[in-house]
Amino acid sequence: MTRNDTLFDRAQRSIPAGVNSPVRAFRSVGGTPRFLVRGAGCHVWDADGTRYIDYVGSWGPAIVGHAEPTVVRAVQARAADGLSFGAPTELEVEMAETLIRRLPSLELVRLVSSGTEATMSALRVARGYTGRSKIVKFEGCYHGHGDSLLVKAGSGALTFGQPSSAGVPPAIANETVVLPYNDAEALRALFAADGGAIAAVIVEPIAGNMNLVRPVPGFLETLRELCDAHGSVLIFDEVMTGFRVHPQGVQGLTGVTPDLTTLGKVIGGGMPVGAFGGKRAIMNVVAPLGPVYQAGTLSGNPVAVAAGLATLALTEAPGFYERLAARTRAFCDGLVSAARDAGVEFCADSVGGMFGLYFSPRVPTSYAEVMQGDKERFHRFFHAMLDAGVYLAPSAYEAGFVSAAHDDDALAATLAAARVAFAAARG
């Protein structure tokens, strides 16, 4: 029994499936989850002392690497003055001003403690602002575990084959319309039939929870056009893509401007910070300004915000995003070359510091195409890479992440491991 095995047995006696978030349980890839004890730069260590090159990065937050010294010092200094007050602090004003400065579509923004809180709050704001109830989401997109959004969701829900969760009352689920991602015509038809009843369309503007799936040309523009025509609120869920794929997220990359944006992950740098915001006219409905209630004991928590601000400051270094995108692209190109040499059908895609790996003939543009990928091959590849000291997301339906701390040595070691792992994956 390894330390990981012992800890996993112990954890399952007190925590459902031994984990505090389902995707961590390794249920789809099999085997024992690694109990991580330390991170530094692009590396993490597990309870048995094994070191891994980390391409999960806490599912996106670790964009500057683990235990980055300036981030750690910011947290230590802030914590020394008290952890939380439940009162306004200057630091959360600085965070709000930073987000507004970096995302021009934001006029007012509220901080929360997770991406789930951000998306559930944004939906309530859209419903309160429009007076309508119906929302539209897309199959394979994951927006956290709010009731209205656990309908044909991605990420862990998709990984375990329960895209629509038990426990969501039909009365709530029936207010959520799910369409195929990238299917603009299906959206046109829905709005033609029911546009006046639609409060909001929420979308991952680059999907990362059914693996990485880009919007096809015109898809986001169509969302914008139809929401304008029917008075519906367009919500870009940039919890994963915000400050990850571009200095201004997908809205900066594409020029398509949402009415509301949800954020998380990078803006907390590994500490619990989320945010929702957008047009002042819409955000004016948020309590206590307006009638839409939303609250949080630890919202804007100064220690968490200190980590986020220090992380965001590091991403503003000259050339940060260019270097991150180039490194991520080199990672993908190297894997494609290794797979070709091993005679394995494989492709990869990346946008900024986020990537997708597919055991498929071509990069998928829809949920249906993602589902045609060779999941068993991925599982064999995942474990061969894990055994070689490379920690990938334990699911064929997750995007992966490169950080500013992934250097040439880490990339070379990863590609050396991949040459062996693809041969193992071939089966």
State the residues that interact with ligand KE4 by CB under 6 A.
21, 23, 59, 114-116, 119, 142-144, 155-156, 204, 208-209, 237, 239-240, 264, 398
User: CA-CA distance, 85 to 250, in Å (whole number)?
Assistant: 34
Cβ–Cβ < 8 Å for 97, 277 = no
Cβ–Cβ < 8 Å for 180, 167 = no
State in angstroms the smallest separation of the CB of 363 from ligand KE4.
19
Nearer to ligand KE4, 130 or 159 (CB): 159
Nearer to ligand KE4, 144 or 258 (CB): 144
State in angstroms the smallest separation of the CB of 427 from ligand KE4.
27
Nearer to ligand KE4, 171 or 297 (CB): 297
Q: Which of 134, 265, 321, 367 is catalytic?
A: 265
Nearer to ligand KE4, 57 or 334 (CB): 57
User: CA-CA distance, 367 to 141, in Å (whole number)?
Assistant: 9
Nearer to ligand KE4, 214 or 411 (CB): 214
Task: Based on the residue annotation, tell me whether 375 is a catalytic residue of this protein.
Answer: no
State in angstroms the smallest separation of the CB of 357 from ligand KE4.
14
Q: Is the peptide bond before 288 cis (omega within 30 degrees of 0)?
A: yes
Q: Which of 183, 237, 349, 374 is catalytic?
A: 237
- Which residues are paired to 237 by β-bridges? 262
Nearer to ligand KE4, 197 or 253 (CB): 253
State in angstroms the smallest separation of the CB of 155 from ligand KE4.
4
Task: Based on the residue annotation, tell me whether 341 is a catalytic residue of this protein.
Answer: no
State in angstroms the smallest separation of the CB of 59 from ligand KE4.
4
Long-range contacts of 388-391, Cβ-Cβ distance < 8 Å, separation of 24 or more: 388/417, 388/420, 388/421, 389/50, 389/51, 389/52, 389/53, 389/413, 389/417, 390/52, 390/53, 390/55, 390/414, 390/417, 390/418, 390/421, 391/34, 391/44, 391/52, 391/53, 391/54, 391/55, 391/56
Q: Is 387 helix (H, G, I), strand (E, B) or coil?
A: helix
Residues 6+ apart with CB under 8 A from 273: 95, 111, 112, 113, 264, 267, 301, 304, 305, 307, 308
- Which residues are paired to 134 by β-bridges? 198
Q: Which helix (H) or strand (E) holds 235?
A: strand 233-237
Nearer to ligand KE4, 61 or 65 (CB): 61
Q: Which of 55, 142, 358, 397 is catalytic?
A: 142
State in angstroms the smallest separation of the CB of 25 from ligand KE4.
10
Task: Based on the residue annotation, tell me whether 265 is a catalytic residue of this protein.
Answer: yes
State in angstroms the smallest separation of the CB of 261 from ligand KE4.
11
Q: Is 197 helix (H, G, I), strand (E, B) or coil?
A: helix
Nearer to ligand KE4, 11 or 415 (CB): 11
Residues 367, 369, 375, CA angle at the centre, nearest 5°?
95
Cβ–Cβ < 8 Å for 130, 298 = no
Radius of gyration from C-alpha coordinates of the chain? 21
Q: Quick one: how far is CA 96 from the chain centroid?
A: 20
Beta-strand (E) ranges in 32-190? 36-40, 43-46, 51-54, 108-112, 134-138, 176-179
CA 18 vs CA 178, 240, 316, 398: distances in Å: 31, 25, 38, 20
Q: Using CB positions, name the residue nearest to ligand KE4.
A: 115
- Which residues are paired to 400 by β-bridges? 355
State in angstroms the smallest separation of the CB of 22 from ligand KE4.
7
Cβ–Cβ < 8 Å for 147, 168 = yes
- Which residues are paired to 338 by β-bridges? none
| Residues with catalytic function | 142, 237, 265
